[in-house]
Amino acid sequence: MADEIKPDKVVDARGSFCPGPLMEMIKAYKQAKIGDVISVYSTDSGTKKDAAAWISKSGNQLIGVFDRNGYYEITMKKVK
């Protein structure tokens, strides 16, 4: 599948509440290197929008938001 990009780091924030998954993602982003792909798993529906917005606003690359049957996977690439 086209969306099967192997992430360098997976943040499993399933079960974590707003703003947990977004904050976990930002933490992982800060520790990552340029070019790293980060995936966040979240069951919190607000994160789907918030995380995607954060990725675009921060000038990074949103690879995709995938519905994984019971949770969302938000994947980004650190470009700056």
Q: Is 80 annotated as catalytic?
A: no
Binding mask 48-67 for another protein (x = CB under 8 A): --x---x--xx---------
4: CB partners within 8 A, 6+ apart: none
Tell me which amino acid residue 16 is. S
Burial 39-49 (b: 16+ CB within 10 A, else e): bbbbebeebbe
**Binding of another protein by 74 (CB under 8 A):** no
Catalytic residues: 18
Which residues would be at the binding site for another protein (CB under 8 A)?
15-20, 22-23, 26-27, 30, 50, 54, 57-58
